[in-house]
Chain A
Amino acid sequence: MRVLAILFLILQTAAAAAQVRSVELRTPRSFGYVLGDLLQVRIDIALDPGSTVQRASLPKPGPVTYWLDLRDVAVERMAGGIRLRLTYQSFYAALDARRLEVPGFTVALASESPGGTTTAQAEIPPWSFGVSPLREVQPEKRDDPADYLQPDGRARRLDPQPAAMAALVLAGLGLLALGLLAYDRAWFGRRRGRPFALAARRLRRLAETDPDGYREALRLIHRGLDETDGRRLLADDLPAFLDRHPAFRPEGESLGRFFEASRRAFFGREVQAAREGWPWPELQAALRRLAAAERAA
């Protein structure tokens, strides 16, 4: 029993030791940093498959020493291990070029196996980088010590160009759309293919009380139908017309009454009777609906 237990322990330490294969630390350059510079450090840790890094063991962004801040820690998975990307910022105001040491740290790793979770530590060694002075040690003599400082500089200006450009483009598009609407509704005179819109506009100018007005209104609808169909349309042609122009099918009943009124008014000379059979408001409404159906067609 004891032998077995010892063997188990050995196996476990062997497994733990095997988790971390190598640690490799890289920086773009290791010298020539002035105060305020960012140091990008890439640490590649080669691991056994199945091992993961315990995020709680990673260093926390914040001050490391009085002259060094850790700004950012990122972990990436890569083939055969993980990659840590650390961003430091150095605030060391150097008087001469010298090397500074950044302390190392340990990262805890965990590996899930059927027997349970095993943990291991990856030691990230201390590393160093070279800082350089930003200014001469003994600057030129100035009368006012404030002249040793850089000036305040100018505040950034905002750029009105994009908003102005967008306003112009949108206004242009808006006017274009307005023109399209005017054309669509035939606001400025007739447009091809919109005879009912034109008729509706003319109807508005006709006086309801004028005895000739009703006949003129009927004539307008006749002309609208003729132009829509491209031929002279009579009452008998109505079903064929509705077949050719299905958009007007909902208005079939109104058109039937229109032809009835037209027959009475023009052939029977019974304008008053026609008017009673199909009153003016209905005529107006029908023509409006015809114009709408024409737009939707």
Chain B
Amino acid sequence: MRHLWGRVRPGLIATMPVLLLAAACASGLEAWRVARANGTIAALEAGTDAEVSPGAPPPVLAARVAFLAKRGRLDEAEPLLPGLEAGDDRADLARARYVLANARMRAAFGLLARGELDKAGPLVTLSRQDYRRALRERPDFWDAKFNLDVASRLIRDYPELNRTDGDELQSEPKKIWTDIPGQPRGGP
């Protein structure tokens, strides 16, 4: 045993500093990347656009989706979602779906204010699907619950339409109350 230790020791003493310092460098690099990602998130939230690759960390992708959604550039935001779906952290995916749904809801409110009910309906339905998906990823997402409630009062599901599935499938023609948001007339 002593003999073996004697043979192993010189090599061990020579390689340990190399390995440890290499690991320290790797950790330092990781810390630097995290700090840079946080910088990107802060820039996006402050309103400066930053290029984000599809392989970026999930919070950065979520921040970019929020940036695009806030400016109504939904077509550019959608392709970022698969990158979030691949990640382990579902909270960022829920956040991204939530801000997308919020953007659609704001667009729908704009259309409703101009009386374009036919165009607003599908937007509200899409929003509800996204709120619902966000809640599926994070059941305790209270802001999403609240906004899903707002969207659900705009367009309600009617059991008598004999629907057996959730929002995931196709949507039937919905009825929109024109005096939103106020006292709903009728409904289940």
Which residue numbers of A lie inside 8 Å of B, CB to CB? 34-38, 63, 65-69, 71, 89, 91, 93, 95, 133-135, 137-139, 142, 144-146, 148-160, 163-164, 166-168, 170-171, 173-175, 177-178, 180-181, 184, 247, 292, 295-297
Interface size on B, residues (CB 8 A): 73
List the B side residues contacting A175 at CB < 8 Å. 17, 21
Which chain B residue has the least Cβ–Cβ distance from A297? B6
Q: Of residues B69, B143, B166, B182, which shows the largest number of chain A Cβ atoms within 10 Å of its Cβ?
A: B166
Asked, given contacts A152-B99, A157-B41, A174-B20, whether A184 binds B13 with beta carbons under 8 Å apart, the answer is yes
List the A side residues contacting B159 at CB < 8 Å: 65-66
Contact assessment for A155 and B132 in the assembled complex, using a CB-CB cutoff below 8 Å? no
Considering only CB atoms, which chain A residue lies closest to B113 in the complex?
A145
**Given A149-B106, A156-B92, A171-B24, is A63 in contact with B164 using a C-beta cutoff of 8 Å?**
yes
B163 to chain A minimum Cβ distance, whole angstroms, is 4
Q: Given A35-B148, A151-B143, A166-B24, output 7 extra A-B contacts at Cβ < 8 Å.
A: A95-B184, A137-B183, A151-B102, A160-B38, A163-B34, A292-B10, A296-B6
B174 at the A interface (CB under 8 A): no
B13 touches which of A38, A181, A297 (Cβ 8 Å): A181
Cβ contact of B102, chosen from A93, A149, A163, cutoff 8 A: A149
What are 17 contact pairs spanning A and B, CB under 8 A?
A36-B139, A93-B149, A133-B149, A134-B145, A134-B149, A137-B184, A142-B181, A150-B102, A152-B69, A153-B143, A160-B35, A167-B31, A174-B20, A175-B17, A177-B13, A181-B14, A181-B17
Decide: A67 near B157, CB < 8 A? Known: A135-B146, A139-B181.
yes
Closest B residue by C-beta to A34: B145
Majority SS of interface residues in chain B?
Answer: helix
The chain B residue sitting closest to A170, CB to CB, is B24
B residues near A (Cβ < 8 Å) are 6-7, 9-10, 13-14, 16-17, 20-21, 23-25, 27-28, 30-31, 34-35, 37-38, 41, 44-45, 57, 59-60, 62-63, 66, 69-70, 91-92, 95, 98-99, 102, 105-106, 109, 112-113, 132, 135-136, 139, 141, 143-150, 152-153, 156-157, 159, 163-168, 180-184, 187
Partner of A166, one of B27, B45, B181: B27
Asked whether A170 and B20 contact (CB < 8 A) given A36-B148, A134-B149, the answer is yes
